[in-house]
Amino acid sequence: MQSLLSGFAPIWVLTAVGYLVARTGLLGEQAETVLGRFVFHVAMPAALFTMLTGARLDTFANTAMLAFAAGTVFATGLGFLAGRRLFHRRPADRAISGMAAGYVNSANLGIPVAVQVLGDASFVAQILLFQVLLVSPVILALLDAGTGRGRGGLGRMLMLPVRNPIIMASALGALLSAAGLHLPAALARPGALLGAAAVPTALITLGMSLHGRGGAGAGGRAEVGVAVVLKTLVQPLAALAVGGLLLDLPRHQLLAVVLCSALPTAQNAFVYAREYGLSTALARDSVLTSTLVSMGTLSLVYAALGPTH
């Protein structure tokens, strides 16, 4: 349990710092907007580019990733469907509903949890590749279309990678990796330093968004509850069913798949909702609530599937 707490601590501390910054007015009224745009347009693209240039793109083509992907698609699809059928959300908001239900916090929480519980973060690295190269472009394309940024026909949609800094940085990083090319140290080091600012700044921005917000109504609480149940319960159970029953994964691989599927919603959902001018309430509350709930569900997963000795 202590190892899990050490992974969760940065999330709570940096979110609290963000709340205090907003409450004191230290950075001014526009700080949340400016920091949010900094994360989306500068720091996060730098982080993804740096990560992908040093990654092996063939690592996520395996049966364990297939089980994880199945759980992700199932939970995300149900989240999208719930946004449409139960809560009558607009198309762009449905994309955030799906993301809140199925996009795991693989970076700042998944890596420390994997190192502490699994002994290494190799599977989390594969999940990062899967989410960055496959899931994020789909979500961003839906957001682009749903908010009107995709108007202009097929040509404008095909230009999405160029217009979106996250997709463009990911694509460039993947191309360099596939070609076996590396940036010179004089460029790679500044990029890594800039990318390192993405997660803490996103969490501080998340904390700032908590200040001055009224409590969610019954409908909002219900929507957050559905997203959290899908994220922390349905997604790991779906991954368990596919990995254990259909693919018959070895126990250590099954533990990695289910544990990572039980990770809470990533703060990327909040970052994307803010950048596209959507309500951030669902994304913000899903991140915070699922992070709290997952402290228990991750412990249960390890108790059920972890080593017996």
CA dihedral 119, 121, 95, 235 (to 10 degrees): -30
65-78 pLDDT, tens digit each:
999 999 999 999 99
Query: Has residue 178 got a pLDDT over 90?
Result: no
Tally the C-alpha atoms within 13 A of residue 22's C-alpha that lie toward its C-beta.
Answer: 22
Band (308; pLDDT cuts 50, 70, 90): low
**Token pair recorded at residue 252:** 């250590």
Region 98-105: mean pLDDT is: 96
Residues 111 and 259 sit within 8 Å (Cβ to Cβ): no
Which residues have a Cβ under 8 Å from the Cβ of 171 and sit 6 or more positions away? Answer: 161
* Contact in structure between 130 and 68 (CB atoms under 8 Å): yes
Q: Mean pLDDT, the chain, as a whole number?
A: 88
Helices and strands (DSSP H and E) totals, the chain: 18, 0
CATH code, domain with 126: 1.20.1530
pLDDT tens profile 142-162: 998 888 765 555 555 555 556
Residue span of the structural domain in which 171 resides: 2-305
Q: Residue range 101-109: average pLDDT?
A: 88
Total count of domains within the chain = 1
pLDDT in tens, 191-223: 999 999 998 999 999 899 888 765 555 568 999
Nearest-angstrom CA–CA distance, 195 and 8: 20
Give me the mean pLDDT over the 268-275 stretch.
94
